[in-house]
Amino acid sequence: MVAGSGCLTLNPGIDLTTQNSTVFHDVSSSGEWANGRLVGTLSLTPNATTDQGVSQINVVAADGETFYTTPVDSGQSNVSIMAPTNGTATIVAVNTVNGTVVETRNATITGDTVI
């Protein structure tokens, strides 16, 4: 259960379109949350950190503010992320060595809202 904005969200999750992605393979959430953040696991494609050079994942909230940032090690295939508990977020894969955005995907935070 997630509380936010006067509502209660049951069974929260994260939906992320990964079709034709060179970086993102899948995302999952156990429905756990902490301090208004939904905990998720982002699976990367096998060559995301090597061929694509991904070294950081940013989660950007709907208001454009960076919500969460985590480094990614070379060869790493799973990354723990935190997402806002309602609405949408943007997941950004970054190459911090050359300062480029490798790929961006929109994520939708799902759940059953109870007022």
pLDDT of residue 12: 72
Q: What is the CATH number of domain 2-114?
A: 2.60.40.10
Token pair recorded at residue 4: 């936010």
Positions of the chain with pLDDT lower than 70, given as ranges: 1-11, 31-35, 111-115
**Domain spans in the chain, listed from the N-terminal domain onward:** 2-114
pLDDT of residue 47: 95
pLDDT of residue 32: 65
Distance from first CA to last CA of the chain, Å, rounded?
12
Task: Collect all residues with Cβ–Cβ distance below 8 Å to 37 and sequence separation of at least 6.
Answer: 67, 68, 82, 83, 84, 85
What pTM did the predictor assign? 0.85
